[in-house]
Amino acid sequence: MQSLDDRSTHEVDDNLGRDARHSVNAVDRQQAFSVSLPDGGRGIGVYKSIKTVVLSKKFNLLIPFGPLAIVVQKTTGQNGWVFILGLLGIMPLAERLGYTTEQLAFYSGPTVGGLLNATFGNATELIISIYALRTGKIRVVQLSLLGSLLSNLLFVLGCAFFFGGIVRKEQVFSKPTAVVNSGLLGVYKSIKTVVLSKKFNLLIPFGPLAIVVQKTTGQNGWVFIFGLLGIMPLAERLGYTTEQLAFYSGPTVGGLLNAAFGNATELIISIYALRTGKIHVVQLALRGSLLSNLLFVLECAFFFGGIVRKEQVFSKPTAVVNSGLLLMAVMDLLLPAFLHSTHKEVHLGISELALSRFSGCIMLPAYIAYIVFQLKNLNDLEESQNGDNLDDDEEAPEISKWESVIWLAFMAAAISILSEYLVDAIEEASLAWGVPVAFITVILLPIGGNTAAVTTAVMFAMKNKLDVSLGVAIGSSTQISMLWIPLLVVIGWIFERPVDLNFQLFKTATLVMTVLFVAFLMQEGTANYFKGLMLLFSYLIVSASYFVHEDPSS
């Protein structure tokens, strides 16, 4: 037993001796190597780092092609070879950039590491795009980012699926994560379609700017200008999302949606003004929207449609029905103004309001009957044209149903927030500019609300679909006069606000003359650019009259 123990002890001693000799030899080698490096022991770390990062992959043999590309460009200028050599040289550099990012992520924890990988995962494309942007090559920026997207989605994912499928028959991945990533792509696409697809939407930041100016300086003249500029693209996008939602609702519900949200901007502004007790602003804003639809929107449709085609034809019966409804609405607005001017009320100060509320309660059912009549005609028209709609190209929606709902709610909320600042700035802007409140509210304010109507009416008129343009201009005017004005009278009645239909004699007279003039122009059932010019000149005359008219109620 003792001899066995001694033998074991000697074996341990021999092993310890060998280990010691190995460690001494390692130290000697390190010292010998460190003779040529000033940092002593750090030289081994530098060599090991270079070996691990650069020399460990045969793929990195392509790195010298990068400097070679620079040499070729400087000496020969043959950019074809420069591109090929540069592409070969940048490939291993991009791969090593990803490798070093992953190595750094090991020391940063999962959260920071994930952010690092997300940030530097596309660093190569970002660097290329920044340089191209700096040199003004915007098209190269767009194409390179698009190419990176296509490469990641098709080539990279295809390689992963193919080579993974060769090793294993079937592989499983996290479905929730994939759905989330796909959803992020969908969100980007939706934002691009709704917000980034129109240069006109560059005006959207003026909305937040109006709020900032109001909060910091209180200069309501600038607040009104910036707010008006900011609300214009929002109103246009509200109309766009309504049209997109109408694709999924069928023609009947879609028509109702377009009718309901066609004047949503004016309605939101009017409801806020009514809530704050500014009844004269409510009346002026709705009257301004009427005048703008009848003169300015219709003028744009007739003029630009007449430039494309010498003469256009529209449905005369539909125009006559709409003209009749407008005349009926104007009559309801005219009677309270006449009653007020006679000073012969049975109950002074009460009869005028009572007549307005009664007229409002009559006009609402009349408008509902008109909608039912229109929908019935629409259904009959669809049944008669079931086999004949091969001529027109079917338009497809650009966003999904739920995207339309979400964007519709978002645009309406943004308009409601901005409307608060617009309405509050009207009177102080009037004082600052020395311009009557009536001119700002009747002429300037509807420019923002009717942006969608103008673009839609012009677009369809230039496509020779003038009936749609008339539906936008005359239909919106009918809706305001027969639905929104009476409805606001009833809402004011509910909330004990004395909203009446007395728009005062001067303003009612301009409205009556406008409706009569438009009805006269539509008698023939034809349109041309000269009729558009007549409408424009009339709108300028009406605008000038409001510029020199002082509103007593303000």
Question: Would you state the pLDDT for residue 539?
Answer: 92
- Residues 6 or more apart from 295 whose CB is under 8 A from it? 514, 518, 535, 536, 538, 539, 542
pLDDT band at 534 (very low <50, low <70, confident <90, very high): very high
Mean of pLDDT values over 224-241? 88
**What pTM did the predictor assign?**
0.63
**How confident is the model over 253-290, as pLDDT tens digits?**
665 666 667 677 888 888 888 888 888 888 888 888 88
Within 76-174, residue ranges assigned H as helices are 79-106, 109-120, 123-134, 138-150, 157-167
> How many whole angstroms separate alpha carbon 244 and alpha carbon 398?
7
Is a pLDDT exceeding 60 seen at residue 181?
no
Question: Would you state the pLDDT for residue 189?
Answer: 80
Mean pLDDT (the chain) is 79
Place of tokens 């550099």: 93
**How confident is the model over 444-492, as pLDDT tens digits?**
888 877 777 888 888 888 888 888 888 888 888 888 888 888 888 888 8
Mean of pLDDT values over 305-330? 86
Question: Would you state the pLDDT for residue 392?
Answer: 47
Is a pLDDT exceeding 50 seen at residue 360?
yes
Question: Would you state the pLDDT for residue 173?
Answer: 72
Question: Would you state the pLDDT for residue 22?
Answer: 44
Mean of pLDDT values over 211-230? 89
| Span of 27-31, 182-186, 416-420 with lowest mean pLDDT | 27-31
Place of tokens 């809706």: 479
Question: Would you state the pLDDT for residue 252?
Answer: 57
Q: Are 538 and 514 in contact (CB under 8 A)?
A: yes
Q: Are 261 and 453 in contact (CB under 8 A)?
A: no
**How confident is the model over 107-154, as pLDDT tens digits?**
876 666 666 666 676 777 788 888 888 888 877 877 877 787 777 777
Most confident by average pLDDT, 70-84, 339-353, 385-399: 70-84
In 154-266, at which residue ranges do the beta strands (DSSP E only) sit? none
Question: Would you state the pLDDT for residue 389?
Answer: 46
Coil/strand/helix, residue 498: coil
Q: Left if phi > 0, otherwise alpha if psi is -120 to 50, otherwise beta: which for 464? A: left
Domains and CATH numbers, the chain: 56-136 (no CATH), 198-380+398-548 (1.20.1420.30)
Question: Would you state the pLDDT for residue 540?
Answer: 93
> How many whole angstroms separate alpha carbon 2 and alpha carbon 15?
20
Residue 544 or residue 114, greater confidence: 544
Question: Would you state the pLDDT for residue 212?
Answer: 92
Question: Would you state the pLDDT for residue 35?
Answer: 38
pLDDT band at 367 (very low <50, low <70, confident <90, very high): confident
Question: Would you state the pLDDT for residue 465?
Answer: 84
Is a pLDDT exceeding 70 seen at residue 179?
no
pLDDT band at 304 (very low <50, low <70, confident <90, very high): very high
Mean of pLDDT values over 83-92? 87
Quick count: other Cβ atoms within 10 Å of Cβ 218? 11
Is a pLDDT exceeding 50 seen at residue 23?
no
Mean of pLDDT values over 420-441? 87
Is a pLDDT exceeding 60 seen at residue 347?
yes
Going by C-alpha positions, the residue among 396, 410, 376, 365 that lies closest to residue 255 is 376
